[in-house]
Amino acid sequence: MHPFTISLLLLLHLLVLCVGSHAAVETSFTAFRKKTGRSTLFLSATSGQRENVDAMISHDRRDLLNAIMTASIINYIVHPVSAVAAEEKSPKPTFAKDIYGTDLAADRFVKARSGPGDRSLVMGLKGDPTYLIVDDSGVSLEAFALNAECTHLGCVVPWDAFQKKFICPCHGSQYDASGMVLRGPAPDPLALAHVDVDPDTDRISLTKWHEPTDFRTGVKPWWI
Ligand code: FES
């Protein structure tokens, strides 16, 4: 979420909390007076005593309001920031889908492939064409997937299993098996995504690559 949006939401929420807190305190005081009968005491008190009681209530109310305001501000500052941080640390997964939009099950998907090193297209993050890779064991998937869009102008790059390269049909860029550029004009390697398998449903999940380093280049990924 954009920092400006977070700030705006924070201010709006603070405003709502202040109004809500004040109303809640007023309600509590009314109930408190009814319960304790302080209003009855007022009737029989002298004017000096009434002033003292008024001052006491006013003081109590100010303390309570201050406490609520302080707690609200702390909660508001700490909670959204930690929530956004948690979201960024653990982005929501997308389940890999076939061309019919059906979630893919890892076991069946791998068994239907040609063996170790197979690279097959699925629908990935945001519906992007994405290559899932069968690892060397031949029975499971690599922990990363490759976005199939050429980093030159976005053509989908087919995998040539014989040459073991991705070769772009549009302007001839070539990428090696891990998506690194072998020949331009593509300026950057194919983007990465994380691959996991849901232990309960066996569905293949993809999440955005959020680490600060691209393990192939050793530098910051160009797509984040
Ligand atoms: S779009 Fe792939 S080389 Fe131009």
Q: Look up the CATH number of the domain holding residue 196.
A: 2.102.10.10
Is the pLDDT confidence value at 134 over 90? yes
Domain that holds residue 111: 94-208
Q: What is the pTM of this model?
A: 0.62
**Whole-number Cα distances in Å, 145 to 27, 80, 102, 214:** 57, 31, 18, 13
Same domain, yes or no, for 19 and 101? no
**With a 6 A CB cut-off, is 183 part of the ligand 1 pocket?**
no
Residue 171 has pLDDT above 70, yes or no: yes
Measured from the CA of 157, which atom of ligand 1 is nearest? 2
Q: Is the CB of 167 under 6 A from ligand 1?
A: no
Provide the pLDDT for residue 211.
87
Does residue 222 sit within a domain?
Answer: no
Q: How far apart are CA 124 and CA 117, in angstroms?
A: 19
Looking at the structure, do residues 13 and 110 belong to the same domain, yes or no?
Answer: no
Instruction: For residue 150, give both structure tokens.
Output: 């050429």
Looking at the CA of residue 150, tell me the nearest atom of ligand 1.
Answer: 2
The answer, yes or no, to whether residue 192 has pLDDT greater than 70, is yes
Q: Which band of pLDDT confidence, cut at 50, 70 and 90, is reported for residue 92?
A: confident
Number of domains in the chain: 2
Q: How many Å apart are CA 202 and CA 159, to the nearest integer?
A: 26
Residues 58 and 138 reside in one and the same domain: no
User: 129 and 175 in one domain?
Assistant: yes
Is the same domain home to 146 and 186? yes
Strands (E), 76-127: 94-95, 119-123
Q: Is the CB of 111 under 6 A from ligand 1?
A: no
- Is the domain of 112 the same as that of 195? yes
Token pair of 167, please? 């070769």
What six digits make up the tokens of 7?
């700030």
Residue 204 resides in a domain:
yes
Report the residue among 150, 156, 166 best suited for mutation to probe ligand 1: largest number of ligand atoms under 8 A from its CB.
150
Q: Assess whether pLDDT exceeds 70 at residue 39.
A: no
Residue whose C-alpha is closest to residue 139's, from 113, 119, 110: 110
Q: Kindly report which listed range (64-73, 187-196, 212-221) carries the lowest average pLDDT score.
A: 64-73
